[in-house]
Amino acid sequence: MSKVALIVNGKAKISLTVTRETWPLAKPFVIARGSRIETEVVKVTLNQDYFSGSGESVPTARFGEDVATVIAQIQSVATKLADCSEDLDNCRKQLQQWLPAGSARNALDSALWDLNAKIKQISVSEQLNFVEPKNIITVQTISIDSPENMGKAAALLQDFPLLKIKLNQELIIERLNAVHANAPKAKLLIDANESWDIELLEYVDKSVKYLPILLIEQPLKAGEDGILKGRNFSLPIGADESCHTCADIAYLADRYDVINIKLDKTGGLTEGVKLAKLAKAHSLQVMVGCMVGTSLSMAPGLVLATQASYVDLDAPLLIKADRPFGLQINKGNISGLPTELWGHC
């Protein structure tokens, strides 16, 4: 843990606390790139006078991040935070220039939104003119395993309306059949995490029309998805690893149907809101997703989820024990954003 105390004009005092945390998972989480049994997050707390705001991010090796470098990035802007701390809205806007898109900026952006909500006594949703998130339907993720074990996992989730199926290039049809057989009422989303090539995508798209599949997410590697331009598929194709900020939309608009907004990629809710608006202007549907974090990571995304067609904020169910005042998720239904967790006065 590191803590930096800041004094502003002899008046307002802000303290920035940065904490590294490790959260064990309920069971191994397996995707095409590998598996893990725990997740490491970075928690930021900003205190000003009697108010406190928090944010959490999940550094991701796929995007060249690790916990140590993310913490260093956060600490590098401590003095700049002090210089603008009397106007938190302006501070948050300047943060977009101080740090690149990524999990460091996300943690600070989230903490600034939370702190501002408490100081102004106005929820983040109200500040954005969004409705408060209530009864948001999220997918529930099934990790890669044998078809038999994925079927057993699906059987435990048969009352969930949406299941997200992690896949690699092997046993695709067998795994999908096993899941559907054990959860026949559930709609399915496929997430290949960049593990397919165009031939495999075309094969799967033609072969699974009998299944209730809503979306194929990031089938091809980011940077190798130019080949999608001009091709037609029976299923919508979603961009995850290929989509980070508003700067990506022009490229994605004629290759994908859906973008997955994850705040650890956008660098926070501030950019995420802009990205959702721009995507819709380009006739792209919006999905709000997450890395594997606690409910504190999910909270800003849940605010944005009110603007989305698909929601993937099930990570609190993947960890062994969540934070206090965590999201309540019942059969895929997120009841709301607890006022004690984030984003409320």
- Annotated binding-site residues for Mg(2+) read 191, 217, 240
Annotated binding site: 191, 217, 240
Q: In terms of Cα–Cα distance, which of 178, 18, 15 is closest to 82?
A: 15
Q: Where are the beta strands (DSSP E) in the chain?
A: 2-7, 13-31, 34-48, 51-57, 134-137, 140-142, 162-166, 187-191, 213-217, 237-239, 258-261, 285-288, 310-311, 329-330, 333-336
Q: Is 320 a catalytic residue?
A: no
- Sign of the Cα torsion 136, 288, 103, 169 reads positive
Q: Are 42 and 70 in contact (CB under 8 A)?
A: yes
Q: Which of 3, 166, 187, 206 is catalytic?
A: 166
Q: Is 262 a catalytic residue?
A: yes
Q: How far from 251 is each of 79, 261, 319, CA to CA, in Å?
A: 36, 15, 35
Q: Which of 229, 262, 277, 331 is catalytic?
A: 262
Q: Are 51 and 119 in contact (CB under 8 A)?
A: yes
The residues assigned a catalytic role are: 166, 262
